[in-house]
């Protein structure tokens, strides 16, 4: 199928040609006619499927040209990075029209965003929080909003945006076209759909929570932080790791990994986490996108929604404990018809999460042998203690009556013997059997 066959007008075909898209992706083929026909829609599609253009193109085409001063379409996304990305794509796709688009996100003052609104606007792309903040200043007049997109809805729910989404729904007209996009479709997203959408057409381009077929996935058992660093160093010797995103659990660890790699001089690296200023974060992403940077280290929240083509490898330095994040993360590689590899490091306390992820993606992630060149070090006392606590926590999740071996020992005021405890990793397995 071609974009012309989707009944897109010349203005948009021109913009598509400029973007270098040769043919519509599956979600575009399925969603564009339905949106142009005015239907409500649930789109189950991962990042990388072309879902952004799938909703932007028909909405922009319906809006056609600049009209009045009040916004007529609203796109809500979970993070500022995603606002910036969707905004860029919207501006490119609308470049042969006079449509006015504004990006609204926090972390910077609202002044410029408010000024754009005052001069007249057709499309708002915003995080829920910033939308409400500016609404509260009476700078948004939502009466004319006729199209609302909730993008990365599962993520918005994970980030606790349900109250804000409800509040926004109360402020915009009831009669409108509503589109919901989500990589996965858990119960909480179903709740949004049931509350806000009217007889939606449901389109699913990949089976729920199935990672892109083009992504190779592996896991390494890595006993501790230092071994993870050593493995990372080893992997990066391979030049095919040309553009790599490393996801790290915490800001502190992300900084440590950054310092470690920086000292090794393995190529240009950028660090992305929420303590970094807005401009530093956007610059880091832009540098990475332009190919000037080999490695981007990020905490998960910061990395969400970054649109980077041709990422060769995603490395989960830690196993994500929000399992749907795994799907999102590995969605950064193998995007838009390219292949990629996702590698996850897991210690024994993270195996539990790997099992849960495998259930979610309905796939087994093959485990690779640790390369001999990797320095496998002893796990330090405190790190081991954290891992054992984590095992206890997991057992409690599975069995709320479980008191916890770790805590029992602590209560008896015994100094934990971690040699024995390390065996208790395998004892734990035996007990499970
Ligand atoms: P998305 O799923 O919207 O994040 O899009 C993923 C990437 O695919 C973005 O870089 C888009 O620019 C790109 N893309 C979207 N539609 C197409 C298309 N029809 N052909 C090629 N690339 C596309």
Q: How far is the CA of 343 from the centre of ligand 1 (A)?
A: 23
pLDDT of residue 209: 55
Q: What is the pLDDT of residue 301?
A: 66
The residue whose C-alpha atom lies closest to atom 7 belonging to ligand 1 is 48
Q: Which residues of the chain have pLDDT under 50?
A: 336-337, 411, 414-433
Taking the mean position of all CA atoms in its chain, how far away is CA 314?
13
Query: What residue owns the CA closest to ligand 1's atom 19?
Result: 24
What is the model's pLDDT at position 432? 36
What pLDDT, on the 0 to 100 scale, is given for residue 303? Answer: 62
Task: Identify the pLDDT of residue 310.
Answer: 64
Query: Residue 90 and residue 55: Cα distance in Å, rounded?
Result: 10
Q: Supply the pLDDT for residue 306.
A: 60
pLDDT digit string (tens) for 130-170?
A: 999 999 999 999 999 999 999 999 889 888 899 999 999 99
Ligand 1, atom nearest to 89 Cα: 12
- Report angle CA 215, 220, 223 to the nearest 5 degrees: 150
In this predicted structure, what is the pLDDT of residue 332?
67
CA–centroid distance, residue 24 to ligand 1 (Å):
9
Q: What is the DSSP string of 55-86?
A: HHHHHHHHH-S--SSS--EEEE-SSHHHHHHH
Nearest CA to ligand 1 atom 6: 48
Measured distance CA(197)–CA(178) in Å, rounded: 6
CA–CA gap between residue 358 and residue 379 (Å, rounded)? 26
- Residue ranges of E strands in 290-411: 295-298, 313-316, 340-346, 367-368
Q: Are 28 and 13 in contact (CB under 8 A)?
A: no
Asked whether the domain spanning 215-377 has the same topology as the one spanning 4-204, the reply is: yes
Residue 23 CB partners (closer than 8 Å, separation 6+): 1, 2, 3
* Token representation of residue 286: 């832009």
Phi, then psi, of 346 in degrees rounded to 5: -140, 130
The tokens describing 331, both together, are 């969605």
Per the DSSP assignment, residues forming a β-bridge with 215 are 340
Q: Locate the domains of the chain by residue range.
A: 4-204, 215-377
Query: What's the CATH fold of domain 4-204?
Result: Rossmann fold (3.40.50)
Express each pLDDT in 23-82 by its tens digit.
898 999 999 999 999 999 999 988 778 999 999 999 999 999 999 999 999 999 999 889
User: Is residue 292 classed as helix, strand or coil in its secondary structure?
Assistant: coil
Rg (CA), the chain: 23
Cβ neighbourhood burial of 400 (10 Å; 0-12, 13-18, 19+) = exposed
241 alpha-carbon distance from chain centroid: 21
CA angle 243, 268, 325 (to 5 degrees): 45
Residue 348 tokens read as 């024994």
**What pLDDT is stored for residue 73 in this prediction?**
98
Position in ligand 1 atom list of the atom nearest CA 309: 10
Ligand 1 centroid to residue 326 C-alpha, Å: 20
Taking CA atoms, 365 is separated from 221, 314, 361, 374, in Å, by 12, 14, 9, 21
User: What global pTM score does this model have?
Assistant: 0.60
Instruction: Classify residue 167 as exposed, middle or buried by CB count within 10 Å of its CB (0-12, 13-18, 19+).
Output: middle
Q: Which CATH superfamily is domain 215-377 in?
A: P-loop containing nucleotide triphosphate hydrolases (3.40.50.300)
Pocket of ligand 1 (CB under 6 A): 21, 24-25, 28, 47-53, 307, 309, 335-336
Torsion of CA 331, 154, 210, 286, to 10 degrees: 0
């Amino acid at each position: 199928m071609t974009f012309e066959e989707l009944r897109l007008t010349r203005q948009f075909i021109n913009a598509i040609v400029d973007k270098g898209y040769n043919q519509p992706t599956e979600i575009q083929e399925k969603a564009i006619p339905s949106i142009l026909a005015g239907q409500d829609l649930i789109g189950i599609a991962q990042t990388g499927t072309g879902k952004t253009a799938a909703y932007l193109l028909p909405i922009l085409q319906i809006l056609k040209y600049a009209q009045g001063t009040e916004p007529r379409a609203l796109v809500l996304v979970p993070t500022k990075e995603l606002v910036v990305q969707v905004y860029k794509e919207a501006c490119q796709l609308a470049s042969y029209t006079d449509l006015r688009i504004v990006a609204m996100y926090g972390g910077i003052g609202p002044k410029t965003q408010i000024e754009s609104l005052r001069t007249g606007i057709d499309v708002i792309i915003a995080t829920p929080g910033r939308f409400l903040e500016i609404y509260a200043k009476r700078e948004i007049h939502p009466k004319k909003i006729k199209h609302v997109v909730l993008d990365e809805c599962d993520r918005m729910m994970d980030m606790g945006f349900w109250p804000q989404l409800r509040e926004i729904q109360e402020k915009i007209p009831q009669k409108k076209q509503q589109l919901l996009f989500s990589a996965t479709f858990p119960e909480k997203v179903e709740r949004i759909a049931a509350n806000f959408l009217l007889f939606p057409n449901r389109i699913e381009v990949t089976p729920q929570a199935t990672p892109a077929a083009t992504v190779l996935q592996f896991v390494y058992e890595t006993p501790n932080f230092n071994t993870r660093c050593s493995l990372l160093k080893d992997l990066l010797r391979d030049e095919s790791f040309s553009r790599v995103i490393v996801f790290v659990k915490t800001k502190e660890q992300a900084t440590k990994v950054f310092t470690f790699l920086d000292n090794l001089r393995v190529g240009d690296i950028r660090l992305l986490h929420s303590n970094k200023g807005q401009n530093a974060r956007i610059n880091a992403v832009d540098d990475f996108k332009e190919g000037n940077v080999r490695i981007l280290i990020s905490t998960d929240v910061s990395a969400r929604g970054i649109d980077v083509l041709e990422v060769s490898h995603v490395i989960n330095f830690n196993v994500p404990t929000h399992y749907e994040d795994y799907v999102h993360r590995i969605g950064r590689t193998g995007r838009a018809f390219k292949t990629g590899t996702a590698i996850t490091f897991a210690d024994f306390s993270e195996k539990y999460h790997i099992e849960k992820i495998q259930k979610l993606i309905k796939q087994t992630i093959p485990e690779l042998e640790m390369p001999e060149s990797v320095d496998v070090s002893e796990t330090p006392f405190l790190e081991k203690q954290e891992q054992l606590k984590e095992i206890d926590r997991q057992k409690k999740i599975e069995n709320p009556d479980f008191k916890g071996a770790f805590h029992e020992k602590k209560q008896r005021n015994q100094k934990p013997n971690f040699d024995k405890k390390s065996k208790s990793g395998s004892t734990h397995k035996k007990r499970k059997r």
